[in-house]
Structure 1
Amino acid sequence: MGMELRKNPQMKRALDNFKAVLDLRINHSDINDAQIKRIIGVIDRAALEIAELD
């Protein structure tokens, strides 16, 4: 499935953008525990919303 996702140019762009933003935010800036918890919440909510798609 991972390879299938990467074959779609829009999906590849979205996943690459997500990874880049997450890397910049977590690894290359000052971030506190509250911000990390908020990011985790955003990711969890996005995963749930995707899982609930028809």
Structure 2
Amino acid sequence: MKLVIQGKNIEITDSIREYVNQKIEKAVTHFQTMITEVDVHLSVARNPRI
């Protein structure tokens, strides 16, 4: 399974990458044979009202 992690306004550190990998592996255990690639998009939204 190929895991692609992309970030917008956030740096993808090793600890974030490990955390996402753990959560994704746990979520797709039942569909391991059908899934070839997982795309994860993380973003930090800035609130203009503050």
The normalised TM-score by structure 1 is 0.36
The normalised TM-score by structure 2 is 0.39
Q: Pick 1 or 2: higher relative contact order, CA cutoff 8 A, min separation 6.
A: 2
- Larger helix share, 1 or 2: 1
